[in-house]
Structure 1
Amino acid sequence: MSKRPLAICGVLGGCQANVFLLKLIIVRSPNTLYAMTFVQYVVVSLLSIFLVSNFFDSSRGGGWLRIRLRPMRILTSHKLILASSSWLMSVSSNLVFGLYISVPLHATFRSSSLLLNMLAGYFFLEKRYTRSQVLCATAISGGLIALAMEKSRKVQNLNAENGMKTSEGNLWWFLGLTVLACTTAFSTGLGIFQEYMYAAARRREEETKKRGESVQSSLSPPPMWAEALFFSHIISIPLFFLQSGRLFREFASISSDSYMHFALNALTQYVCITGVYILNDKTSAFTLILTLTLRKLCTFSLSVAYFGHYRHFTMMEWVAMVTALAAGALYPLLPKAHPPSNLCVKPTEKGSKER
């Protein structure tokens, strides 16, 4: 129970600090986000290995340098899917900042995950929603459309002033917006897969215990969130070398005054992602969505206030962004709709008991 408040604090504090440092890196060392993501993965892997290993295993007869992994419960195939999917999502999400995508637009657009969850639940999981929930989802969608249209207009004006071809500037911006939309949809699917992965591991563990086939070990298994966190990052590190030339070029182009920002960004990423994995494993979807949405609100507020985005905002952008973020924050607090099947079953059950 004590891990949940710490995880929420980690998401609100760690993720917010991470976005703040990300903005500083974008300003001082642009076009280095691929290298930054690589550093994040290496640091998270090194720090999370302590969660899944035993460095003081006396049964091996060695010193503290001996490393022994604790018993694992998640299927290897699930770890591979999680690692490759998380890597693709992380790299794509960071690279869109080089395609005319600002931090406020990024934070606001990712709020559409609520709408995607609603659509997936309605069509595939037979969930139903109240009018207030539908209105919130509509407000988020409308705010994002208005924000995207206003941003497109400003990009066209900027390209005209700088002598750049309008079609060229719009092409890169639409590419960034497309990648951002795909990343948002992908993150929704990844969250559903993680829930399935944890449930499958627990179900398999219970079946093993019932058959009396539990493996005897002097070490207890690590928390499932820790196992998923470690392997989703350590397995993904070799994938960065698919573009090794780009990775080395970006490391060479990092300015000296950004070294500290890179280090702090990686550390805060560890705090942030650890909180997200704990919440995904230990709490309901309600708590996770609410926490992430509040974090997006903090990201928006800090980016607008500290980096001066408000100086360039039009009234349309203010209304669209505030509407979308406010609806995203309100959505988890709304009452849920009751499934119609429950309303029909209860009277029947009650009547059968009376007879």
Structure 2
Amino acid sequence: MVHTDLTYITLSQWLLIVYQVFGGCCTNVFVLENLFKNNHSEYGLGSIITFSQFLFVSLISYFANTDFKSSNWRYLYLKQTNIPVKKWGILVIMYFTVSILNNQVARFNITIPVHIIFRSCGTVVTMIIGYLFAGKSYNRNQIISGIIITLGILISNIPLAFPETPSHKIIINYEFLMGISILLFATILSAFMGLFNESLFKAYGTYWQESLFYTHFLALPLFLFISPLLLQEFKVIWNDDHYISQDIPISNQFISLLVNVGTQYLCIRGVNILASKTSALTVTVALIVRKFISLLLSVLLFDNKVSTSGYIGSIFVLGGAFYYSVSTNKKNKQQTIKRE
């Protein structure tokens, strides 16, 4: 059974989730921005970062899915899956596409703060997709929170998409609109992915370690289609002329890449635990809070500029997410009292 609120998670589980989702994900965003800031090549590095993350997660989660006694080398000593492998195929394609797109938008002058704020619309997109394609229904408070979040997204991004020149002329920022369009497509696909993942857990049980391994391992062959680009981006990172020290000829960019993949594993692991115990919508809201912590770190540590409308929009989005969490907790407590 999949619960729909964080109140059903035990204290030890919640602490583990906080450590991995907030600690791992926030550190990951910090290192990711550091990689982009120190990249002075024509390549965006998004592809090699995504591939490294998928490879590392596959290796580190492999042993949790092995059975060396009952399986054999033909099956890579993998144990029998609880969820049919063909079911993972659909999820793998969606996850691969979402990951590639999210790491490519930096090439369209989409800063980390803008990326974080816009991706927060995942709550609204999940609600719409859930209503249209999964027969889900939402109460008044959830709908109101979705409206608040949508207003926040619009307030933050419209001035960036249609900036005003010093002569008070409104222009169209086509590069920004292209990046936002890619983000929107990735967010919609991510919503479908979350609902599909939720349906798998409901049908077969909550095997998040199996999900973590197969969604990354089965995606590795897909990187063959972009292998030339991966090689070029790896050369950029490896040949960076900023080293840890004079005695250790390893570039800072390469070390940052290693830290990035490690923290990405912690982040994904925490999200998978959360997804196995809550609904897709609750996962989205929890991640919004994490994203705003990353937003603050990006502004404070990398001196990223956020406009007044950006701050106002951020408050709307965070307020909408908080309103959803409070109203959902209140509803669950009322239902518990009625059952008693």
Alpha-carbon distance in 1 for matches of 2:209, 2:71 = 24
Aligned to 1:292: 287
Q: CA RMSD in A?
A: 2.8
One-letter amino acid of the counterpart of residue 48, structure 2: A
TM-score, normalization by structure 2: 0.80
Q: Deviations over 1:275-332 (max 9, x none)?
A: 11111113344652342122112111111121112xx333222212222223223322
TM-score, normalization by structure 1: 0.77
Give the direction of change, closer, same or farther, for the CA distance of 1:226–1:252 in structure 2 (3 Å limit): same
Aligned to 2:199: 196
Shift, 1:71, TM fit? 2.3
One-letter amino acid of the counterpart of residue 53, structure 2: Q
Aligned to 1:232: 215
Verify the 8 A CA contact 2:126 2:280 in the aligned structure 1: no
Q: 2:262 aligns with which of 253, 261, 267?
A: 267
Alpha-carbon distance in 2 for matches of 1:21, 1:126 = 37
Aligned to 1:24: 34
Verify the 8 A CA contact 1:8 1:279 in the aligned structure 2: no
Aligned to 1:351: none
Q: Give 1 or 2 for the bigger CA radius of gyration.
A: 1
Shift, 1:54, TM fit? 4.0
Alpha-carbon distance in 1 for matches of 2:31, 2:72 = 44
Identity %: 29
Verify the 8 A CA contact 2:123 2:285 in the aligned structure 1: no
Q: 2:92 aligns with which of 80, 83, 104?
A: 83
Q: Deviations over 1:5-50 (max 9, x none)?
A: 3133211111111001000001012611111111111100000002
Give secondary structure in 1 for the equivalent of 2:61.
helix
Alpha-carbon distance in 2 for matches of 1:136, 1:82 = 28
Corresponding position: 1:187 with 2:182? no
Corresponding position: 1:315 with 2:308? yes
Alpha-carbon distance in 2 for matches of 1:73, 1:61 = 18
Verify the 8 A CA contact 1:144 1:324 in the aligned structure 2: yes
Corresponding position: 1:276 with 2:271? yes
Alpha-carbon distance in 2 for matches of 1:4, 1:96 = 32
Aligned to 1:208: none
Aligned to 1:327: 320
Give secondary structure in 2 for the equivalent of 1:334.
helix
Gaps of 5+ in 1: 159-165, 203-222, 347-355
Alpha-carbon distance in 2 for matches of 1:120, 1:336 = 23
Gaps of 5+ in 2: 1-9, 241-250
Corresponding position: 1:113 with 2:122? yes
Corresponding position: 1:244 with 2:227? yes
Query: Where does 1:94-173 land on structure 2 (aligned, <5 Å)?
Result: 94-124=103-133, 125=135, 127-130=137-140, 132-154=141-163, 170-173=173-176
Give the direction of change, closer, same or farther, for the CA distance of 1:173–1:287 in structure 2 (3 Å limit): closer
Q: Deviations over 1:123-156 (max 9, x none)?
A: 45251421x43332222111211211111245x7
One-letter amino acid of the counterpart of residue 229, structure 2: R
Alpha-carbon distance in 2 for matches of 1:319, 1:148 = 11
Give the direction of change, closer, same or farther, for the CA distance of 1:299–1:230 in structure 2 (3 Å limit): same
Verify the 8 A CA contact 1:12 1:291 in the aligned structure 2: no
Shift, 1:97, TM fit? 1.6
Verify the 8 A CA contact 2:56 2:261 in the aligned structure 1: yes
Verify the 8 A CA contact 2:26 2:290 in the aligned structure 1: yes
More moved, 143-152 vs 13-22: 143-152
Q: 2:82 aligns with which of 53, 65, 73?
A: 73
More moved, 327-336 vs 68-77: 327-336
